[in-house]
Structure 1
Amino acid sequence: MSNTTPTSYATVPLPAGFPADVTLPKFVVELGERFADAGYELALVGGPVRDMFLGSSVTDLDFTTDAVPETIQQILTGWAHAQWDIGAAFGTIGARYGDWTVEITTYRDEQYDPDSRKPEVVFGTELLEDLRRRDFTVNAMALRLPDFELVDPFGGIKALVAGVLSTPGTPQQSFSDDPLRMMRAARFAAQLGVTVSDDVAAAMTDMAQRIEIISAERVREELVKLMIADTPRRGLDLLVASGIADVVLPELPAMRQASDATHRHKDVYEHSLQVMENAIEREAHYVEAPNFVLRFAALMHDIGKPKTRRFEPNGKVTFRHHDVVGAKLVAKRMRELRFDKGSTKAVARLVELHMRFYGYGEGEWTDSAVRRYVTDAGDLVAHLHALTRSDVTTQNKRKARRLATAYDDLESRIEQLAEEEELAAIRPDLDGKQIMELLDIKPGPLVGRAYNYLLNLRLDEGPADVEATKAALLAWWADQPEAQQPNDDA
């Protein structure tokens, strides 16, 4: 499957019923003829067929056939520019034609043992049975090649038109075969804007705990796809309503428990979804879109509130240090879902910093405050801009305008200082080697303390000449207890 739009080749039109502007590369027909000449069936299947009916450009080419993997490889030899058999155990052979990547899979049936995370694969011989085992009717359609005969035995087109997600067989059987399909239902709700049928929703609720047998890596991949979809709120609401979120992302439904109509503070769950949607609207202005890190940080920015909620004697509710607590919680959750270290660190840092703007009030920003804000955010400063602005969900228009103006001022101060100083790479005016030489000390924690002192000095007062920095460091050193010790002990 290709993650980028491949170079175009000669194309062929599709039969009546498909959008007129949707085409396929001509080599798809040639591939179908190649399988037919060898005595086998070949059909374009699943997502590509669905997307063509929706009028979307086709960038992924997934095929199914009655040929077994070894035969697929023989048929591809001399046609494909490269091929690989990494998925052969599951019936899938990959190939490259130009810069297109295709996957061809033997008709199959697979299901999970109740206590196993790995599917048992059985190859099949009939297209109908292969389609029957697929997750949802909108994905259980095929185009037989080379003649483009549509095969839609379970009403996939009708489901697309109705905007309802249903399964070819019973949802209980589908989700028992692969419980991850319950998360895929939420993802398709977010991607395609569909709703799930009543029986699918009921099965998701009844079988929510079954998701526990799925590996963290597979859950993570579905969660990422959901989050970068057009309307992730639809999928997230479905995960929460069904109870699946209680298993895979329990911090999300927990935010509903932090809401309290009696004490009249905002609904934390609804607020978090609104912040996420605000961030989606803003992201293209600040960062590359769609941006998982920004969206997930926006969704999870207040997950520390349930653990930090306190009822004060005056009737108010407080969530002191929920930013710090939330950063730890989101990092823990992302590690359990096997996210990479970079993404985990970035999301946690944004959650930790999302209140930083409010700590400075709404007055004019000093140079020192601006430097610290940019330095603490590092290469996430654009993400932090988008998150902080998105966190304003007040219905008080006067307050919203005041906060927007204050943040406008902050961004203006950052731009102004950036022209004068290299904000993105602020360092002390002396490096570690110079510090050790000046103070006559050896490598160790003391060097780090001296370095941090100079960094704070740089943030507070801006750049200085080397001699002034040396004088300041010596004055600081004179007050340190280590300055009175022999050098050998320093």
Structure 2
Amino acid sequence: MGLEFLRTKQAGIYSLGNWQPHSVTERAALALAKEMNQYAWDKGWVKANCTAVYFVGGYPRDLMYRQLKGRDFAAKDIDLTTPLRWEQAAEFLESQKITDLTVIEGIESEKKNLVHRVLYPFGPDGKRLEFEITSFRGEKNYRGHHPQEVWPTLDMREDASRRDFTVNALYFDPVRKKIIDFFNGIEAIKENLLDTVGNPRHRFGEDPVRMLRLVRFRARYQMKVAWRAEGEVKNCLSGLEAVSVERIRDEMEKIFLEPRLADSIDYLVKLGLMDWVIRPSILDGMSFGDLDKVQHPPGAPYHKEGSVYRHTLEVLKVLESERLLGYFKRLFSILNRASGGQSSARGSSQTNIAQSMYPELVWAAIMHDTGKAKTQRVEADGRVTFKKHEYVSARQAASLAKYLKMSRREAQGISWMVENHLRIRLFPQMKLSKKTALFDNEYFPHLVMLLFADRLGTLPAEGGYEMIDDFLDSLEGYTEFRQRLERESRYRLPIDGHDVIAAGVPQGPRVGQVLKVLKEKFDDYLDERGRPPEQSTVQKWLEEETAP
């Protein structure tokens, strides 16, 4: 029997008669939908006047934002949903010889949740695009964020009722070019209002990470949050105890990529969510929001922003600023020339910072001054100091990275940036070996960006512009000098590991340690005298380092 699951009394219908697929993803999704529709009609699974495949999730939401708000978007991925049963969808995929990763990889959890992940060949080159096809379903009895009971349904409204926010519960019929809306998502877009589907306590209880998603969508679309959803967050915070820290970390790093980051961090603090990201135990018993109580000296000519917390927000604002983007471009222009125009492992292309290590930079910016709470002292002369706060902050940053189960590389990068965020200011005056030790770290460009943001986030910022220009001039001079050293063999250390071993050092880590010390002495000699040391001088250094 065919289906008639569109009940217009329950749903709003919005016509998009002018819709045309533009991207390859849109064209491929439409082609797949048409094939699946035709197959379902031929089989009699749905009536000829019904649609068997819909675009759901982010695509119809962003499509309506473009239609109603003029906001452009690129369709990176499109999720499909269907009233067909999982077995019917599987039969269609097999008949069309469309690769079904769910079957190939034996993903029982996806089968249980009525999901197919497919590779759909499209275009003259047969490029295979990945899509997710989900059968309409109902869910209940969540454990963590996984429903323990899942069942197929023919009711689109029941399927829509399990989604998080009203703007995400829209369905797009690509054949008839219509948006189907059961929960006033279109009206929410018009009013720029972010609200949950149904009772917010239920939605957040099903998956507490939705509270972080609320912050992310608020930032992306500059939406107001419905008072009932905002008010329910504090009642649901304890649910985050059962959420994996990896999911919390991943959602935070998605927030980092949205606009108005400082406002989002402030909002996370207001809602009480930040304490579930940076646990008070990480900050030696202090809540992140309590950094607002740690005041910089009121009479000092700097840090007019007031508290450590307000300074941190200013730093995050600078990270997004056009002014910093200009310095960013010059920095990477210098680094590109230093590497001969080749992108290095550090990420010397201007886009890599946002795509690879940008989250680490934001984490470092958030944590760079947290140690001031523990190191704040009032000296005998009345001055307020925060001596060696960078080391305490680095320790706390390392604890945060461990708690959030970051990789060892990420953890070391974040704590290294935090520990060196004051030291890097002295780069222009450093000896050559000290400059090289900093420069050779893959996070050096991000440390420099942290320095710039920290300085411009210290109000008033005007004096910081001259400092940044001087720093970049010095860095440019260093990289040009370094290139000269690398071109001419006489500027290279005339001793290698074989010489160290011949001097009596057994093979192992000690060989590298000796070479590092010799290289630092060599570079500092060159830096001070403008010429390399004699071979006999280097040999004497080797004997001193390897003496019993």
d(CA) in 1 for partners of 2:473, 2:517 = 29
Aligned to 2:472: 408
Q: 1:258: Cα distance to partner?
A: 5.6
Change (3 A) 1:359 1:312: farther
Residue type of the partner of 2:31? F
Contact 2:278 2:288 in 1 (8 A): no
Change (3 A) 1:429 1:324: farther
Residue type of the partner of 1:58? A
Residue 54 of structure 1 aligns to a residue whose secondary structure is helix
Change (3 A) 1:449 1:32: closer
Q: 1:244: Cα distance to partner?
A: 1.4
Aligned to 2:345: none
Moved more, 395-404 or 70-79: 395-404
Residue of structure 1 aligned with 2:453, choices 385, 390, 393: 390
Moved more, 310-319 or 95-104: 310-319
Q: Which runs of 5+ in 1 are unaligned?
A: 1-13, 483-490
1:334 equivalent to 2:363? Answer no
Change (3 A) 1:74 1:232: farther
Contact 2:433 2:520 in 1 (8 A): no
d(CA) in 2 for partners of 1:190, 1:476 = 60
Q: Deviations over 1:217-262 (max 9, x none)?
A: 2112211111112333333222211111111223595264364458
Contact 2:361 2:446 in 1 (8 A): yes
What TM-score results when the alignment is normalised by the length of structure 1? 0.84
Residue of structure 2 aligned with 1:44, choices 25, 42, 55: 55
Residue type of the partner of 1:440? G
Q: 1:117: Cα distance to partner?
A: 5.5
Residue type of the partner of 1:433? H
Aligned to 2:392: 325
What TM-score results when the alignment is normalised by the length of structure 2? 0.76
d(CA) in 1 for partners of 2:267, 2:141 = 24
Aligned to 2:101: 84
d(CA) in 2 for partners of 1:69, 1:408 = 59
Aligned to 1:467: 535
Equivalences, count: 459
Q: Describe how 1:84-483 pairs up with structure 2 within 5 A.
A: 84-85=101-102, 86=107, 87-98=110-121, 99-111=128-140, 113=142, 116=144, 118-125=146-153, 126-250=155-279, 253-254=287-288, 256-257=290-291, 259-261=293-295, 263-264=297-298, 266-281=306-321, 282=324, 285=329, 286=332, 287-288=350-351, 289-290=353-354, 291-359=358-426, 367-375=432-440, 378-392=441-455, 393-396=457-460, 399-422=463-486, 429-437=494-502, 439-443=503-507, 447=511, 449-462=513-526, 464=532, 467-468=535-536, 470-477=538-545, 480=547, 482=548
d(CA) in 2 for partners of 1:428, 1:328 = 35
Residue of structure 1 aligned with 2:83, choices 66, 83, 89: 66
Aligned to 1:487: none
Contact 1:305 1:322 in 2 (8 A): yes
d(CA) in 2 for partners of 1:18, 1:341 = 51
Structure of higher RCO (CA pairs closer than 8 Å, 6+ residues apart) = 2
Contact 2:518 2:538 in 1 (8 A): no
d(CA) in 2 for partners of 1:57, 1:300 = 33
Residue type of the partner of 1:210? G
d(CA) in 1 for partners of 2:19, 2:266 = 32
Q: 1:391: Cα distance to partner?
A: 1.0
Residue type of the partner of 1:416? E
Residue 382 of structure 2 aligns to a residue whose secondary structure is coil
Aligned to 1:53: 64
Q: CA RMSD in A?
A: 3.0
Q: 1:464: Cα distance to partner?
A: 4.0
